[in-house]
Amino acid sequence: MIVGTRLSRLAAGRLLPGMASRCAHTERKVQVPDTGDLHIVESGSGSRSLLLMPGALGSAWTDFKPQIEQLPKLLPDHTIIAWDPPGYGKSVPPQRKFGLDFFREDAEAAVKLMRALNRPKFSVLGWSDGGITALILAGRHADAVEKLAIWGAGAYLNKDEVQSLQAIRDVAKWSPRMREPMEKVYGVERFAQLWGEWVDAACEFYKQRDGDFCRSEVEQVKAPVFILHGKKDPMIAPEHVPWLKQRLPNALYHEFPDGKHNIHLRYAEEFNKLVADFFRGKE
């Protein structure tokens, strides 16, 4: 999913948890069966539900601050729920476990979380790894997902992306500025360990499954889909968006001509309006 050593911009493009003021929200841990206590941030008070799914090693505040703050005004009939996936952010314990099923395990945990919140039907906003998890969720639990918006995600990993990942496995080679957001969350040693484990797990998909993250699940998606894309995204190979569009022929598509990987942060106002119109049914 990542092209070139510019992957570290994924960390640099995120927002530190303490930056600027936050809108009215609540933070709590939810006991999720067979998973553990998962940390969530909720904003808004609508009867409909929108789950925000972060990228690799991401959390609610590092990845979705503008959405947590702005989407409740644009979607007053929704409650916005941003989660820290198991083992990420403040959802520790459980200890993060990687392997060939970690995307599917996150998808199952998300479904269980929403059921625990008594919100069994919901829409999903998924970025990067969160987009992969969202596609799996929508494919395997079509009855639960109302709508789906994704960006910065691919259904598989190709050879060039594997080589790029291996080149930036050692975070000690990153600049301090690019490491800082994740080190603030995990600490220096734990971040380096987690990132290395994530890279190794992603490369195993290529070795053992021909890079397949969620090819079959994409074919099973029934919910309306909105694909957003930064045309200059250095994190995913250019082939991924056409691949998804071919298999999701009814999906809406919007391209940010100068956008890179973090279009929801760099172009937050425009991005939020686009996805809000989609989730309101004004697409």
Model pLDDT for residues 158-172, shown as the tens digit of each residue: 999 999 999 999 999
pLDDT of residue 149: 98
Q: Is residue 256 over pLDDT 70?
A: yes
pLDDT of residue 15: 54
Average pLDDT over residues 100-127: 98
Entry pTM: 0.92
Pick the catalytic residue from 78, 141, 261, 264: 261
- Burial (CB < 10 A; 0-12, 13-18, 19+), residue 27, is middle
pLDDT of residue 24: 84
Q: How far is CA 84 from CA 3, 38, 54, 262, 283, in A?
A: 26, 7, 8, 18, 29
Average pLDDT over residues 232-238: 94
Could you confirm whether 261 is annotated as catalytic?
A: yes
Structure tokens at 57: 């090693």
Q: Is residue 252 over pLDDT 70?
A: yes
Q: Is residue 3 over pLDDT 90?
A: no
**How far is CA 171 from its chain centroid?**
21
Contact 153, 1 (CB under 8 A): yes
* Better pLDDT: 102 or 282: 102
Average pLDDT over residues 105-124: 98
Whole-angstrom distance, CA of residue 65 vs CA of residue 62? 7
Could you confirm whether 229 is annotated as catalytic?
A: no
Q: Is residue 70 over pLDDT 70?
A: yes
Say what percent of the chain tops pLDDT 90: 89
Q: Is residue 23 over pLDDT 60?
A: no
Whole-angstrom distance, CA of residue 45 vs CA of residue 36? 25
Residue 35 makes CB contacts below 8 A (sequence gap 6+) with 86, 94, 109, 112, 113
Pick the catalytic residue from 123, 233, 240, 264: 233
Ramachandran angles phi, psi of 142, nearest 5°: -60, -30
pLDDT of residue 5: 32
Pick the catalytic residue from 123, 128, 240, 264: 128
- Burial (CB < 10 A; 0-12, 13-18, 19+), residue 100, is middle
Give the model's confidence band at 231: pLDDT under 50 very low, under 70 low, under 90 confident, else very high.
very high
Q: How many CB atoms lie within 10 A of CB 54?
A: 26
Average pLDDT over residues 35-51: 97
Average pLDDT across the chain, whole number: 92
Could you confirm whether 143 is annotated as catalytic?
A: no
Q: Is residue 7 over pLDDT 50?
A: no
